[in-house]
Chain A
Amino acid sequence: MTRGFYNRLAWTGIQKNRQLYYPYFLSGIVMVMVFYIFHFLATSEVVHNLPGKAVLPYLFYIGEGAVGLFSIPFLFYTNSSLIRKRKKELGLYNILGMNKRNIFSVLFRETLISYGIVVTVGIFAGFLFSKAAELVLVNIMGRQAGYRIYVDWKGAFVVLVVFAVIYLMILANALWQIHANDPIELLHSDMQGERPPKSRMLLTVLSLVLIGAGYGASAAVTAVEYQLAQIFVTAVLLITGTFLLFICAFVVLCRVLQKNRAYYYQTSHFVTISTMAYRMKRSGASLAAICVLVTLVLVACSFSVSFYAGSMEVLQRTYPYDLSVRVEIPVEKIGNELTKGTCTAGYRSGIDTIIGSVLTDSGQDAGQGGVRQADGCAVHFANMLAMLVDGRLDLARDMRDTWFTPGSGLYPGWTEGNEEIVWLHVLSLEAYNRLCRTTETLGEDEVFVILENGEYRSDRIVLNDSGAGVNVNPAAKAVPAITDVSISLDDGRAKDDRITAHGCRNVFLVVRDLYDFMGGVEGSAAYAQKNYMAYDWEYYWNLSAPEEALYAVYDQVEAHIRTGADKTACYLRLERGENYYALAGAVLFIAVVMDLVFVAVTALIMYYKQISEGYEDQRRFSIMRKVGMTGKEIRASINSQMLTVFALPLLVAGVHLIFTSNIVYMMQKMVVADNKPLMIRVMVVTYLLFAAVYSLVYVMTSRTYYRIVNRASGSRYCGGNGS
Chain B
Amino acid sequence: MSILEVRSLKKVYTTRFGANQVTALRNVNFRVEEGEYVAVMGESGSGKTTLLNILAALDRPTSGAVLLNGRNLAEITEDQIAQFRRENLGFVFQDFNLLDTFTLEDNIYLPLVLANTPYTQMHEKLLPIARMLGIADLLKKYPYEVSGGQKQRAAVARALITEPHLILADEPTGALDSRASDELLRLFASVNQMGQTIVMVTHSTAAASRANRILFIKDGEVFHQIYRGEDSDDKLYEKISSTLTILMAGGGHR
Contact = CB atoms under 8 A, between A and B. Distances in A.
Interface residues of B, number: 33
B223 interface: no
Contacts, number: 79
A715 B114 contact: no
A193 B113 CA distance: 24
Interface in A623-646: 623-633
Contact of A626 (B78, B93, B113, B144): B93
A102 interface: no
Contact of A270 (B89, B93, B98, B113): B113
Contacts of A620: 99-101
A617 B118 CA distance: 27
Interface in A600-657: 620, 623-633
B110 A627 contact: yes
Contact of A627 (B79, B97, B118, B122): B97
B158 interface: yes
A185 to B, nearest CB: 16
Interface string B84-109: 01110101010001111111001001
Given A627-B97, A627-B111, A628-B86, A266 B142 contact: no
Contacts of B30: none
Interface stretch (A158-166, A273-281, A290-298, A357-365): A273-281
B58 interface: yes
Contacts of B72: none
A633 to B, nearest CB: 7
Residue among A267, A275, A626 with the most chain B CB within 10 A?
A: A626
A627 B86 contact: yes
Interface string A461-504: 00000000000000000000000000000000000000000000
A626 B58 contact: yes
Q: What bracket does the count of chain A residues touching chain B fall in?
A: 20 to 34
A718 to B, nearest CB: 13
Nearest to B53: A626
A9 B118 CA distance: 57
A716 to B, nearest CB: 9
B83 A630 contact: yes
A261 interface: yes
B101 A274 contact: yes
A628 B100 contact: no
Given A265-B122, A630-B79, A624 B99 contact: yes
Given A261-B119, A628-B82, A630-B79, A623 B97 contact: yes
A234 to B, nearest CB: 37
B111 A628 contact: yes
A154 B118 CA distance: 72
Contacts of B44: none
A632 B114 CA distance: 12
Contact of B114 (A193, A261, A262, A633): A633
Contact of A277 (B58, B91, B101): B101
Contacts of B56: 626
B232 interface: no
A628 B85 contact: yes
Nearest to A620: B99
A624 B107 CA distance: 10
A267 B100 contact: no
Nearest to B117: A265
Interface string A251-267: 00000000001100111
B119 A627 contact: no
B42 interface: no
A360 B22 CA distance: 102
B109 A625 contact: no
Contacts of B79: 630-632
A171 B97 CA distance: 38
Contacts of B119: 261-262, 265
B116 interface: yes
Given A193-B143, A270-B110, A620-B99, A629 B122 contact: no
Contacts of B86: 627-629
A628 B114 contact: yes
B100 A626 contact: no
Contacts of A275: 101
A628 B83 contact: yes
Contacts of B110: 270-271, 624, 627
A266 B113 contact: yes
A262 B79 CA distance: 26
A196 B144 CA distance: 9
Interface in B101-146: 101-103, 106, 109-111, 113-114, 116, 118-119, 122, 142-144
Nearest to A274: B101
A628 B102 CA distance: 16
Residue among B87, B100, B142 with the most chain A CB within 10 A?
A: B100
A623 B79 CA distance: 15
A194 interface: yes
Residue among B56, B99, B122 with the most chain A CB within 10 A?
A: B99
A16 interface: no
Interface in B41-97: 56, 58, 78-79, 82-83, 85-87, 89, 91, 93, 97
A625 B119 CA distance: 22
Contacts of B82: 625, 628-631
B78 A194 contact: no
Contacts of B58: 626
Contacts of A262: 119
Nearest to A265: B119
A278 B144 CA distance: 14
Nearest to A633: B114
Interface string A194-222: 11100000000000000000000000000
B102 A265 contact: no
A278 B111 contact: no
Contacts of A267: 113-114, 116
Contacts of A270: 106, 109-110, 113-114
A616 B85 CA distance: 25
B116 A193 contact: no
A609 B102 CA distance: 22
B97 A274 contact: no
Contacts of B97: 623, 626-627
Nearest to B116: A267
Interface string B151-193: 0000000100000000000000000000000000000000000
A193 B100 contact: yes
A266 B116 CA distance: 6
Contacts of A277: 101
A193 B142 CA distance: 10
B144 A627 contact: no
Contacts of A630: 78-79, 82-83
Nearest to B85: A628
B113 A623 contact: no
Nearest to A623: B97
Residue among A196, A267, A620 with the most chain B CB within 10 A?
A: A196
A620 B82 CA distance: 16
A195 B144 CA distance: 7
A709 B86 CA distance: 22
Contacts of A271: 110
Contact of B102 (A274, A633, A715): A274
A196 B100 CA distance: 8
Interface of A: 193-196, 261-262, 265-267, 270-271, 274-275, 277-278, 620, 623-633, 715
Interface of B: 56, 58, 78-79, 82-83, 85-87, 89, 91, 93, 97-103, 106, 109-111, 113-114, 116, 118-119, 122, 142-144, 158
Q: Which 6 interchain pairs have the tightest Cβ spacing?
A: A628-B86, A193-B144, A630-B82, A628-B85, A630-B79, A623-B97
Given A196-B101, A625-B82, 4 more contacts: A193-B142, A274-B101, A627-B114, A715-B78
20 contacts: A193-B142, A193-B144, A195-B142, A262-B119, A265-B109, A265-B113, A265-B122, A267-B113, A270-B113, A270-B114, A274-B106, A275-B101, A620-B100, A620-B101, A626-B97, A627-B158, A628-B82, A630-B82, A631-B79, A715-B78
